[in-house]
C-alpha cells in the first residue's frame, strides 16, 4: 500500500515544538492527532504525543487494529442519537469510515504510529492511565518510547504548543 505521507526530512523549524495529547481512542478520534503529528514532523517541527486514558487504545497492541466509531453522543453525527444507538449502527459507521480511509489511501492507526516513530516523533504512555487500565509497557506498541507522568510530559515539552484532543 502506498502511503500519502512519505516522510522526507525537512529543514527543522528552529525551536518550534508541538505536544499533542491523545485522550480518545475512537477510530474517528485518533486521526486528528496522528495527522497533525505527521504534518508537524513533515514541517520539521519537534513533535511529541502523550497517550492518556482511552487514547492508550491507539497504542495498545491488542486494541489498535480494532478501534471503533461511537456515533452516540457525537454532536457532529449526521444521525439522530436514537438511530445511532441502535444495534449494529456503530459497526456500520466503523465500516463506512474504514472504507473511506481506504479510498483516500490513508494508512491505519498502527501504520501511522510506525511512520511517526520513523520520522522522529516521541510517543509516551500515561503512567496514571496505565495503572488505571492495568496495562504494562509490554501491552503497548514498541514505538511508545516510555511510560511517564503528565508532569514528566510537560517537563519534556517545555516551550511546545500544547494541543489536547
Check residues 70 and 31 and name the one with the higher pLDDT: 31
Q: How confident is the model at residue 28 (pLDDT cuts 50, 70, 90)?
A: confident
Which tens digits make up the pLDDT trace of 113-124? Answer: 999 999 999 999
Q: How far apart (Å, rounded) are the C-alpha atoms in residues 101 and 127?
A: 31
Look-up of cell digits 444507538: 85
Q: How far apart (Å, rounded) are the C-alpha atoms in residues 81 and 77?
A: 8
Q: What is the DSSP letter of 157?
A: T
Q: How far apart (Å, rounded) are the C-alpha atoms in residues 96 and 143?
A: 28
Which tens digits make up the pLDDT trace of 40-78? Answer: 999 999 999 999 999 999 999 999 999 988 766 666 666
Q: Is the dihedral of CA 112, 116, 117, 121 positive or negative?
A: negative
Which tens digits make up the pLDDT trace of 126-148? Answer: 999 999 999 999 999 999 999 99
Q: Select from 3.40.1260.10, 2.50.20.10, 3.60.110.10, 3.40.50.880 the CATH code of 17-164.
A: 3.40.1260.10
Total Cβ atoms within 10 A of residue 143: 17
Contact 160, 18 (CB under 8 A): yes
- The confidence score (pLDDT) of residue 116 equals 97
Amino acid at each position: 500500500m502506498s502511503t500519502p505521507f512519505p516522510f522526507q526530512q525537512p529543514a527543522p523549524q528552529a525551536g518550534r515544538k508541538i505536544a499533542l495529547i491523545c485522550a480518545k481512542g475512537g477510530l474517528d478520534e485518533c486521526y486528528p492527532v496522528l495527522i497533525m503529528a505527521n504534518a508537524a514532523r513533515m514541517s520539521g517541527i519537534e513533535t511529541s504525543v502523550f497517550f492518556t486514558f482511552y487514547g492508550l487504545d491507539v497504542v495498545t497492541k491488542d486494541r489498535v487494529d480494532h478501534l471503533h466509531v461511537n456515533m452516540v453522543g457525537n454532536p457532529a453525527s449526521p444521525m439522530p442519537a436514537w438511530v445511532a444507538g441502535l444495534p449494529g449502527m456503530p459497526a456500520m459507521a466503523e465500516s463506512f469510515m474504514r472504507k473511506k480511509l481506504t479510498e483516500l489511501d490513508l494508512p491505519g492507526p498502527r501504520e501511522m504510529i510506525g511512520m511517526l516513530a520513523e520520522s522522529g516523533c516521541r510517543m509516551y504512555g500515561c503512567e496514571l492511565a496505565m495503572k488505571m487500565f492495568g496495562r504494562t509497557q509490554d501491552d503497548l506498541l514498541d514505538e511508545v518510547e516510555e511510560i511517564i507522568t503528565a508532569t514528566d510530559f510537560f517537563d519534556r515539552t517545555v516551550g511546545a504548543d500544547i494541543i489536547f484532543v
